[in-house]
């Protein structure tokens, strides 16, 4: 698989990356950064992977739009990517194209960012859609932020509407799978599960230490003021997409829809759209079971 991430803006990408590192079912071929200052985002990924001892993972820079990075940009400003012990690609789009083109197996892209990189790959290699599966955190079907009625423009969609329209209109190897706001917008780690992570911050668990260090830095440098790094996570949209990648998806209820992206960035049910498999609701107790599984995986880290 390829992880397509806009790490550095919201905290959920950092949690998703940590989750992937603890998911033996997932064979990571590339961590590709997306949106705005993708080069600085790759710097964050490279520092993160260096600290936790996972420089076996290649890192690629996606499309650079501007200098914006988000609250975590400064956390990695002291890191020189030329010292990264693994493979580092300044042209991450070409690296992704090479991986997909040379693979004898279907490549899964975990899309937890605006879809500019995916759109560019399809523009350069239109036939590659038949060689790719997409599992995304994307869209709003029946619920919007805060549980109000949807659909509404979800960030990863409306941030690059054109690329989202390309991606939702593509014929992938299998129908796109997504966790929209309907489910991922209600994903948190708190209570005993979160306290267990805080306890691990005093152990040899470099993965948890690094994740919580990033969270504190993010919080102190313009991240969500309503969140408290010592009591609860932020909304963990993106790790739900990781869960859909490796699991049998029993914690959520999957529904098939045909979806299109309109010019407002809304994901609309429309018979003319491509089929999309949607994690529409949580199964009974699914949120709690998912949070426990995530924490167990993070706590199992060994350097």
Domain presence at residue 216: no
Domain presence at residue 53: yes
Look at the chain and report how many structural domains it folds into: 1
Q: What is the mean pLDDT of the chain?
A: 97
Upstream peptide bond of 32 is cis (omega within 30 degrees of 0): no
Q: Can you give the pLDDT at residue 164?
A: 98
Is the model's pLDDT at 110 over the cut of 90?
Answer: yes
Sign of CA dihedral 183, 12, 64, 20: negative
Domain presence at residue 61: yes
In sequence order, the β-bridge partners of residue 257 are: 276
> Taking residues 205-221, what's their average pLDDT?
97
pLDDT digits (tens, 9 = 90+) for 271-288: 999 999 999 999 999 999
Percentage helix, strand, coil, to 5, in the chain? Answer: 40, 15, 40
Distance CA 222, CA 72 (A): 9
Domain presence at residue 219: no
Per-residue DSSP letters for 146-197? GG-BS----HHHHTTHHHHHHHHHS--SS-EEE--HHHHTT---BHHHHHHH
Contacts of 184 (CB under 8 A, 6+ apart): 137, 235, 236, 237, 238, 240, 241, 279
Residue 252 near residue 222, CB atoms below 8 Å: no
Element (H, E) at 241: helix 237-246
Domain presence at residue 194: no
List, edge to edge, every strand of the sheet that includes 30-33. 88-89, 59-61, 30-33, 2-5, 107-112, 132-136, 176-178, 274-282, 252-261, 267-269
> Taking residues 67-87, what's their average pLDDT?
96
The three-class DSSP label of residue 272 is coil
Percent of the chain with pLDDT over 70: 100
> Taking residues 161-183, what's their average pLDDT?
98
CA distances from 9 to 16, 33, 122, 162, 163 (A): 13, 12, 25, 21, 19
Domain presence at residue 220: no
Domain presence at residue 52: yes
Q: Can you give the pLDDT at residue 181?
A: 98
Is the model's pLDDT at 269 over the cut of 90?
Answer: yes
192-225 b/e (C-beta count within 10 Å ≥ 16 → b): ebbebbeebeeeebbbbbbbbbbbebbbeeebee
Is the model's pLDDT at 225 over the cut of 90?
Answer: no
Domain that holds residue 100: 2-186+236-280
Is the model's pLDDT at 125 over the cut of 90?
Answer: yes
> Taking residues 15-40, what's their average pLDDT?
98
Is the model's pLDDT at 224 over the cut of 90?
Answer: no
Q: Can you give the pLDDT at residue 303?
A: 81
CATH at residue 243: 3.90.245.10
19-35 b/e (C-beta count within 10 Å ≥ 16 → b): bbbbbeebebbbbbbbb
Domain presence at residue 86: yes
The three-class DSSP label of residue 9 is coil
- Smallest CA-to-CA distance from 19 within 137, 132, 141 is with 137
Which pair of structure tokens corresponds to residue 18?
């940590």
């Amino acid at each position: 698989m390829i992880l397509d991430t806009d790490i550095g803006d919201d905290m959920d990408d950092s949690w998703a990356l940590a989750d992937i590192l603890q998911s033996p079912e997932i064979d990571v071929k590339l961590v590709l950064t997306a949106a705005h200052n993708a080069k600085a985002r790759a710097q964050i990924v490279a520092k993160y992977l260096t600290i936790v001892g996972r420089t076996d993972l290649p890192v690629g820079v996606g499309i650079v739009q501007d200098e914006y990075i988000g609250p975590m940009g400064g956390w990695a400003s002291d890191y020189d990517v030329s010292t990264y012990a693994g493979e580092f690609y300044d042209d991450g789009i070409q690296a992704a194209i090479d991986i997909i083109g040379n693979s004898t197996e279907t490549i899964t892209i975990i899309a937890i960012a605006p879809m500019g990189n995916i759109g560019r790959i399809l523009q350069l290699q239109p036939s590659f859609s038949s060689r790719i599966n997409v599992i995304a955190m994307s869209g709003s079907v029946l619920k919007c932020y805060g549980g109000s009625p949807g659909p509404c423009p979800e960030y990863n969609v409306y941030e690059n509407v054109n690329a989202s329209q390309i991606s939702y209109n593509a014929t992938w190897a299998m129908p796109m799978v997504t966790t929209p706001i309907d489910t991922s917008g209600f994903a948190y780690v708190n209570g005993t599960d979160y306290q267990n992570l805080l306890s691990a911050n005093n152990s040899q668990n470099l993965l948890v230490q690094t994740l919580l260090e990033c969270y504190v830095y993010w919080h102190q440098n313009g991240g969500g003021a309503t969140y408290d790094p010592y009591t609860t996570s932020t909304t963990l949209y993106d790790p739900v997409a990781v869960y859909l990648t490796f699991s049998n998806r029993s914690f959520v209820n999957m529904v098939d829809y045909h979806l299109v992206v309109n010019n407002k960035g809304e994901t609309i049910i429309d018979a003319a759209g491509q089929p999309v498999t949607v994690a529409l609701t949580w199964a009974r107790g699914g949120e709690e079971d998912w949070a426990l599984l995530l924490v167990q995986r993070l706590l199992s880290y060994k350097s």
